[in-house]
Amino acid sequence: MKKESVAVIGGGTAGLIAARSLSADGIITTVYDQKPVPGEGIHASGILSLTGLGTLGLDYTKAVTNTLRGANIHANGRTMRIRARGAVAAVLDRKRLNEICIDNAERAGTSIVTGKRIARKELDALAEDSVIIGADGAVSTVAKHFGMGAAPPYAITYKQEYNVTMAEPDAADLFFDSRSWPGLFAWLCPNAKDVLEVGVGTTAHSVNSRHVLERFLRTKEVAEAIGKSRPICGGASIIPMARRERIVDPKREVLLVGDAAGQVKSTTGGGIIFGGNAALMAADAIKGHIRNGLDLSAYEKRFMSRYGMDMKLHSMINRLYSSLGPESIGRIISMSKAIGIEGFLERYGDMDRPSLVIRRFFLRGLAD
Ligand SMILES: Cc1cc2nc3c(=O)[nH]c(=O)nc-3n(C[C@H](O)[C@H](O)[C@H](O)COP(=O)(O)OP(=O)(O)OC[C@H]3O[C@@H](n4cnc5c(N)ncnc54)[C@H](O)[C@@H]3O)c2cc1C
């Protein structure tokens, strides 16, 4: 039977962005989310490049709580200080961002069913008359049910927020120490002018992520930053650290987007820009499939041609970092400063697409 509707499992940013695009083109689309209010209680941050945000077609401005001009990268007592001339990233309130995505999708005509967890046994019935988008996060039921490869390796995270006044509320601090938090890093991020987020992420699963955070809280830098302030909120989560093997099954008409597909930068864990763009590409492939019988594999081809190299580079940089001790990372920071990498990154850095930075470096060198 020819399918004419789409069922999106998961009402996070990726699922809702896909739904908005499909509904806006007149395709009957229903989003199912297990939570009564999708996006509520999410323990993830929302630092997004302004260039990346511009690609999602969202009016995100009402979710912005702060803007950032750069970052301090720390390892073994050395610091690389990167500051662009103006804001390069926005910090978004994730619950508010989800509300905006819901509003945009509903205005386009999407039906959203909340408080409904789709179990594996329900997927076959839905798949009888609808194309399925699995946007159900890192532990994807859709991916498991349709046999779309093993779940990617993941990092565990824990973060808390504190009400404090900051000396420099327009820069985040990233602490690289592959012994204390292997696989990812620890961070301080000014979520708003008076709200500091303190977080850790690690691929070492044998530890409790909250205990790792407690260790970070005892460091001099964090103790100085938060003083005697108490946490106002916090919680644990996970981040997929690699792409899932298969993200589309053209025969069964199933596509994965966002964390379900592992479309995350493995250097930082950021997934909204890649996942959101993948969602738009998946929606386009479905439109072509429903209207003109085109092959759904076009989705994977398009995603890989735009972001494949960047995903690979993020993963290579993460592997390199994971294989080095803090002393070596500290030495790399000193060396990079000596040859002018700081200034180059201030002018040409790109949080999402290292391929563009590398291309610029090979074409023009470090000079202006
Ligand atoms: C600590 C932390 C910090 C982060 N920081 C950033 C950052 O600064 N920038 C950035 O870009 N990204 C960041 N990320 C990553 C970002 O949060 C994710 O990439 C993004 O949320 C993925 O969106 P998604 O829609 O694919 O999945 P999710 O946001 O996980 O949404 C999945 C939805 O599916 C629903 N669901 C799951 N199973 C079912 C089911 N069976 N039936 C119905 N509903 C279901 C869930 O309720 C959920 O609403 C961070 C993540 C963490 C953990």
Given a contact cutoff of 8 angstroms between Cβ atoms, the answer to whether 191 and 172 are in contact is: no
Question: Averaged over 146-154, what is the pLDDT?
Answer: 94
Does some domain include residue 30?
yes
Contacts of 244 (CB under 8 A, 6+ apart): 140, 143, 148, 149, 151, 152, 256, 260, 261, 262
- Least confident residue range of 265-274, 318-327, 359-368: 359-368
Per the domain annotation, does 92 fall within a domain?
Answer: yes
Range of the domain at 59: 5-68+88-152+242-316
**CB of 326 closer than 6 angstroms to any ligand 1 atom:** no
Distance 237 CA to ligand 1 centre (A): 9
Q: Is the CB of 29 under 6 A from ligand 1?
A: no
Interval 199-238: pLDDT, tens: 999 999 999 999 999 999 999 999 999 999 999 999 999 9
Within-domain flag for 42: yes
Bridge-based pairing of strands 195-202 and 154-163 is antiparallel
In a domain, 168, yes or no: no
- Residue 99 in any domain: the answer is yes
The CATH number covering residue 285 comes to 3.50.50.60
Considering just the CA atoms, what is the radius of gyration of the chain in Å? Answer: 21
33 within ligand 1 shell (Cβ under 6 A): yes
Q: What's the gap in Å between 120 CA and the centre of ligand 1? A: 20
Residue 365 above 80 pLDDT?
Answer: no
The pLDDT tens digits of the residues spanning 82-118 come to 999 999 999 999 999 999 999 999 999 999 999 999 9
44 lines ligand 1 (CB under 6 A): yes
The model's pTM is 0.96
Residue 137 lies in a domain: yes
- Determine the atom of ligand 1 nearest the C-alpha atom of 32: 43
Q: Summarize the confidence of residues 248-253 as an average pLDDT.
A: 97
Query: Could you identify the atom of ligand 1 that is nearest to the CA of residue 35?
Result: 47
Strand partners for 32: 9, 113
Mutate to test the pocket of ligand 1, among 8, 13, 50, 95 (most ligand atoms within 8 A of CB): 13
| 198 CB within 6 A, ligand 1 | no
Task: Assess whether the C-beta atom of 46 lies below 6 angstroms from ligand 1.
Answer: yes
Token pair belonging to 284: 């386009």
Q: Which residue has the higher pLDDT, 44 or 368?
A: 44
Q: Using a 6 Å cutoff on CB, does residue 15 contact ligand 1?
A: yes
**Is residue 32 lining ligand 1, measured as CB closer than 6 Å?**
yes
Q: What's the whole-number mean pLDDT along residues 252-266?
A: 97
Does the C-beta of 114 come closer than 6 Å to ligand 1?
no
pLDDT of residue 368: 62
Q: Are 20 and 108 in contact (CB under 8 A)?
A: yes
> Domain tally for the chain?
1
Task: Name the residue among 204, 296, 213 with its Cα closest to residue 249.
Answer: 296
Residue 116 lies in a domain: yes
Cβ–Cβ under 8 Å, residues 78 and 334: yes
Starting from the edge strand earliest in sequence, which strands make up the sheet with 47-49, in order?
Answer: 47-49, 89-92, 64-68
- Residues 317-349 have pLDDT tens digits of 999 999 999 999 999 999 998 988 888 888 888
Residue 77 included in any domain:
no
193 lines ligand 1 (CB under 6 A): no
Q: Whose CA is nearest to atom 12 of ligand 1?
A: 270
